[in-house]
Homo-oligomer: A and B are copies of this chain.
Amino acid sequence: MKMSGGVEWALHCCVVLTGATEPVPAARLAAFHDVSPTYLAKQLQALSRAGLVRSVQGQAGGYQLTRDPQAITVLDVVEAVDGRQSAFVCTEIRQRGPFAATPEQCRVPCGIASVMYDADRAWRDSLRATTIADLAGRVGRDVGPETLPRAREWMAGRSG
């Protein structure tokens, strides 16, 4: 079981967009993180479809957050990029084989599936407890307070 690497990229982008006052092009976000520009664009499109970022086209276009970073949870980003469905998919094994359960018995979900779904819910609850604003604040502490303004300035410049 492995989560899409795009989730990590998307989260970093959201944190960076926290400090942006103007739309930031995808190419600039890719250069900032030193990742594949075209593939990062795909993740940003997913964020756009989910309504987490707004895409501005044209010469001064780019991406910007649609709402306050405090109102965007980590779960929002994960589900936007990686999908909303559970990692576990029940194939209804109980309905197969010589002792297959009857359809009436299968109106209640399989016990194994229930346990997996509960765990999935716990996972999502945990991700929902942290916001992009929380992450941004922590990055500010870890990396030192003087780096953020410089990064913000670099992000605003349209070249180099």
Contact = CB atoms under 8 A, between A and B. Distances in A.
A119 B126 contact: yes
Interface residues of A, number: 59
A99 to B, nearest CB: 5
Interface in A94-117: 94, 96-99, 101, 105, 108, 111-112, 115-116
Contacts of A150: 99
A142 B123 CA distance: 27
Given A8-B93, A8-B112, 13 more contacts: A1-B1, A1-B2, A1-B3, A3-B88, A32-B97, A34-B93, A35-B93, A87-B87, A111-B135, A118-B126, A119-B127, A121-B126, A123-B126
